[in-house]
Amino acid sequence: MPWFSKKSKQIEAVPPEERVVKTENIFVKCDGCEAHLYRRELEESHQVCSHCGYHFRLGARARLAMIFDDGKYEELDAEVISIDPLEFTDTKAYPDRLRQATKSSGLPEAIINARGKVGDHLVFAGAMDMSFIGGSMGSAVGEKVTRLIERALTEHGAVVIFAASGGARMQEGALSLMQMAKIAAALAELDEARLPFVSVLTDPTTGGVTASFATLGDIIIAEPKALIGFAGPRVIEQTIRQKLPKDFQKSEFLLDHGMVDAIVDRRELKEYITKLLNFMMNPELSNESEMGRVRSRAASRN
């Protein structure tokens, strides 16, 4: 008599294509040092590589959640979206491009407006997003930035804008270029009211955005190694027929030449902006010597 009885059990066959360890979307390769990073850890560090400090591009809503206290904010002007005033068509009709951009990015426009608190200061923040037609500035973007500034004037708050753009939106022609002057005029009123505008330049900030509000901040902050300029380096080289300096148009080059006031790691940006607002909104109560130096640098730049 056997000590045990053996029962047959049917084992389900596993298809060969499923006989793998599923690691898809778990790791991300760093473009800076080529290290393989855990996606969850990368998200916790605001998309900054823990090995080399490389800054991945960050979406508009993630930026707003990063900067506001407890990640809470009220989205504004979501109803302001682009139309097709010129009935523009290239390889695809402009309305089709807008629908595709909205579907792929999940955004109503290339900038998201928000109201909230940063270090208990009332802040009106705008965050641009490259995933919506390259973060290009059309009439809707110009209107949203202007409304953001006007709300800050009405409610006596600060303005913070994260720039990320390929420039003016060609599908709207001269109407997109008009936004440069429109926003600059609103910023002049903000300056007269002695309310702060902090401009944060991210990778990339180019074209008409650079030529207008992005470089009109009371304080201009850049993320490390961000591309910042008007025309691209290849266009400039072909125009002047000269070889450009190494890392030309990178934020470090611009800091050395007085075009920006500070380069701040994204992981430290909220704390840095909070100190700036403490100094700029209540200068008589602030003893921040570092902020004073940054403000002096900005005054000499202006």
Rounded mean pLDDT, 261-268: 98
Residue 193's alpha-carbon distances to 142, 156, 186, in angstroms, are: 21, 9, 11
Set out the domains of the chain in order of their start, with CATH numbers.
22-56 (no CATH), 58-301 (3.90.226.10)
Rounded mean pLDDT, 211-238: 95
Q: How confident is the model at residue 8 (pLDDT cuts 50, 70, 90)?
A: low
Question: Quick check: 13 pLDDT over 70?
Answer: no
Question: Quick check: 265 pLDDT over 80?
Answer: yes
Q: How confident is the model at residue 25 (pLDDT cuts 50, 70, 90)?
A: confident
Compute the distance between CA of residue 162 and CA of residue 277 in angstroms, rounded to an integer. Answer: 16
Q: What is the pLDDT of residues 64-118, one digit of tens each?
A: 999 999 999 999 999 999 999 999 999 999 999 999 999 999 999 999 999 999 9
Question: Quick check: 130 pLDDT over 90?
Answer: yes
Compute the distance between CA of residue 155 and CA of residue 122 in angstroms, rounded to an integer. Answer: 8
Question: Quick check: 6 pLDDT over 80?
Answer: no
Predicted confidence at residue 68, as pLDDT, reads: 98
How much of the chain exceeds pLDDT 90, in percent?
83
Q: How confident is the model at residue 39 (pLDDT cuts 50, 70, 90)?
A: very high
CA torsion sign for 219, 130, 113, 151 is positive
Question: Quick check: 14 pLDDT over 90?
Answer: no
- In sequence order, what are the beta bridge partners of 89? 93
Rounded mean pLDDT, 229-257: 94
Rounded mean pLDDT, 6-32: 69
How much of the chain exceeds pLDDT 70, in percent?
85
By DSSP bridging, strand 36-38 and strand 111-118 are unpaired
Do the Cβ atoms of 144 and 113 come closer than 8 Å? yes
Of 149, 150, 154, 106, the closest CA to residue 126 belongs to 149
Q: What is the pLDDT of residues 274-299, one digit of tens each?
A: 999 999 988 665 555 566 666 666 66
Residue 273's alpha-carbon distances to 92, 269, 298, in angstroms, are: 41, 6, 15
Tokens 């148009």 -> residue:
249
CB atoms under 10 Å from CB of 78, counted, come to 12
Q: What is the pLDDT of residues 42-55, one digit of tens each?
A: 999 999 999 999 99
> Any idea what DSSP says for residue 88?
-
Do the Cβ atoms of 141 and 162 come closer than 8 Å? no
Question: Quick check: 158 pLDDT over 70?
Answer: yes
pTM of the predicted structure, to 2 decimals: 0.87
Rounded mean pLDDT, 51-65: 97
Buried b vs exposed e over 185-195: b needs ≥16 C-beta within 10 Å? ebbeebeeeeb
Q: How confident is the model at residue 172 (pLDDT cuts 50, 70, 90)?
A: very high
Compute the distance between CA of residue 159 and CA of residue 113 in angstroms, rounded to an integer. Answer: 10
Compute the distance between CA of residue 278 and CA of residue 102 in angstroms, rounded to an integer. Answer: 37
Of 177, 180, 166, the closest CA to residue 215 belongs to 180
The two tokens of residue 302 are 């202006």
Predicted confidence at residue 197, as pLDDT, reads: 98
